[in-house]
Amino acid sequence: MIKISKSRAGTQRVTFSLPAGAPPGRVSVVGSFNDWTPGRHHLTPRSNGRRSASVDVAPGTVLEFRYLGENGLWFDDPDLPDRADGNCVCATS
């Protein structure tokens, strides 16, 4: 699940969220906002039972991203439509 909200200094906060155990183990979100560097944005457990990580971006930014789980498991956001190139895309407004 992706949530976009206003942040400070004219940016927008994009929060990436997954259920606690799907998939099991450590997961990070990797994409255009962090130069596709694994491990920079690990999803951390929240009190609501989900895991999430947030990034601040400029309004109008188009984000390409995927999730990276343990043992090299790459996967797309289950709440966004599949794309032929394997990347999920989210445009902030």
Tens-digit pLDDT profile for residues 47-91: 999 999 999 998 888 888 999 999 999 998 888 766 555 555 666
CB–CB of 1/77 below 8 Å?
yes
Q: pTM for the whole thing? A: 0.84
- Under 8 Å between Cβ of 57 and 48: no
Closest CA to 62 of 22, 19, 92, 40: 92
Go through the domains of the chain in sequence order and give each one's CATH number: 2-91 (2.60.40.10)
Q: Verify cis geometry, omega within 30 degrees of 0, for the bond prior to 38.
A: no
